[in-house]
Structure 1
Amino acid sequence: MNKFTQRGLIALMVSGALFSGVASAQSHDEGRHGGRHDGGPMMMENMRHMFKDLNLSDEQKVQLRELMKAHKDARKAERDADGAERDASRAAHHEKMQALMNAPTFDEAAAKALIAERQARGEERALEAMKLQHQMFQLLTPEQKTQLQAKMEQKRQEREAKRAEREERRKERADAL
């Protein structure tokens, strides 16, 4: 895995960890699984959980709500504006992928170019999510920041424990074969 891929994944994990919840900062009308991890409804839902026990003031709740709404509106406007272009880009990507698969020999340079295109789009979304995360974090008091960081660390440890369990089960299955 190259450095850009690792950085992108780390950025998404960090933003996902921080954004696992803002209590009362947004209504539940988007649904629990109604969006992607790139600033969509699922990310907003996740934020609620992380901010849940921080005893946010009414002013902080309003400010967080406004930040999330602005982010959501910007993402929607971007999707709406780029709709036809995105569809054409997706079709072009699909055609390039098909050409790569149908070629008698594998073109590693073309494959790397396709991967780089996809990673660039993911990095842009991760950057926007991290900007939002930073703005939200700046609204917290020092005590709330400390509490949030402790929650994030706890979530990280839980993810690591689950990852270790999955790895152990994978090894056991491999040994059983």
Structure 2
Amino acid sequence: MTTAMRKTTVKAAALFTALGLLAAPAAFSDEHQQGYEHQHKKVHSGHRMKQGQYGVKLLRKMTRYLDLSDEQVAQIKEIRRQSKTENEPLRTAMKAFKAEVKNQQSGSEFDETAFSATYLQYHETFAQLALQKAKTRHAIFQVLTPEQQTKWQAFQEKRKARRSSERS
């Protein structure tokens, strides 16, 4: 091997080593970040999702778990769309309630009387939202076949038991 060839080989080896050293932190940092996000999501999976994602995720889960037909999926989507439009005034009222409570909590001292008055003012809204939610769930449940209903109820009970054991 000539001296020129050795120099070229050494330069190439040095170049690859330098590139490897420069690229390694980025590669490991990305893996570390993905691992952290995965662990973070796993630990904090009980936190709220972005608005509107829960229903989409639940419908996907129902479709997969219950093997829903395209017609059933379309019916459920229509029920949810209709429920959303009917609930819009109630959701606006809930936003106003949350804004008032947030405003009350930002004060130097908590005024229990003011909170109770605000809560009582919106009590009818809470009841109407609960009623609409129950109606929507019932309508969706009626789209399912009897076998799917039984399977979904068993799934819900299993999920409820798992969540209560996680909280304990």
Same amino acid, percent of matched pairs: 31
Listed one character per residue, the Cα deviations across residues 6-65 of structure 1 (whole Å, up to 9, x for unaligned) are: xxxxxxxxxxxxxxxxxxxxxxxxxx9331xxxx44234234324431122232122112
2:125 is aligned, of 121, 124, 129, to: 121
1:71 is aligned, of 77, 83, 92, to: 83
Tell me, yes or no, if the aligned pair for 1:64 and 1:136 is still in contact at 8 Å: yes
Tell me, yes or no, if the aligned pair for 2:72 and 2:143 is still in contact at 8 Å: yes
> How far did residue 94 of structure 1 move?
5.8
Alignment of 1:126-137 (within 5 A): 126-137=130-141
Aligned residues: 121
Q: In the aligned structure 2, how far is the partner of 1:150 from the partner of 1:102?
A: 48
Q: Structure 1 residue 34 and structure 2 residue 46: aligned?
A: no
Q: Which runs of 5+ in 1 are unaligned?
A: 1-31, 165-177
Q: In the aligned structure 2, how far is the partner of 1:119 from the partner of 1:133?
A: 21
Select the structure with the greater relative contact order (CA < 8 A; seq sep ≥ 6). Answer: 1
Q: 1:48 to 1:123 in 2, by over 3 A?
A: farther
Query: Which one has a bigger Cα radius of gyration?
Result: 2
* Alignment TM-score, normalising by the size of structure 1: 0.52
Root-mean-square deviation (Å):
3.6
* Alignment TM-score, normalising by the size of structure 2: 0.54
> How far did residue 125 of structure 1 move?
2.2
Tell me, yes or no, if the aligned pair for 1:50 and 1:151 is still in contact at 8 Å: no
Listed one character per residue, the Cα deviations across residues 77-126 of structure 1 (whole Å, up to 9, x for unaligned) are: x37xx86x888x5599369837xx568xx765443222333444333222
Which residue identity does 1:60 align to in structure 2?
Answer: Q
2:156 is aligned, of 152, 161, 173, to: 152
> How far did residue 130 of structure 1 move?
1.5
Report what 1:52 is aligned to: 64
Which residue identity does 1:141 align to in structure 2?
Answer: T
Determine which structure has the larger helix proportion and give its number: 2
Q: In the aligned structure 2, how far is the partner of 1:95 from the partner of 1:41?
A: 24
Report what 2:27 is aligned to: none
Secondary structure of the corresponding residue to residue 52 of structure 1: helix
Secondary structure of the corresponding residue to residue 68 of structure 2: coil
Q: Which runs of 5+ in 2 are unaligned?
A: 1-47
Q: 1:86 to 1:159 in 2, by over 3 A?
A: closer
Which residue identity does 1:132 align to in structure 2?
Answer: T
Q: In the aligned structure 2, how far is the partner of 1:47 from the partner of 1:130?
A: 17
Report what 1:97 is aligned to: 104
Q: 1:143 to 1:110 in 2, by over 3 A?
A: same
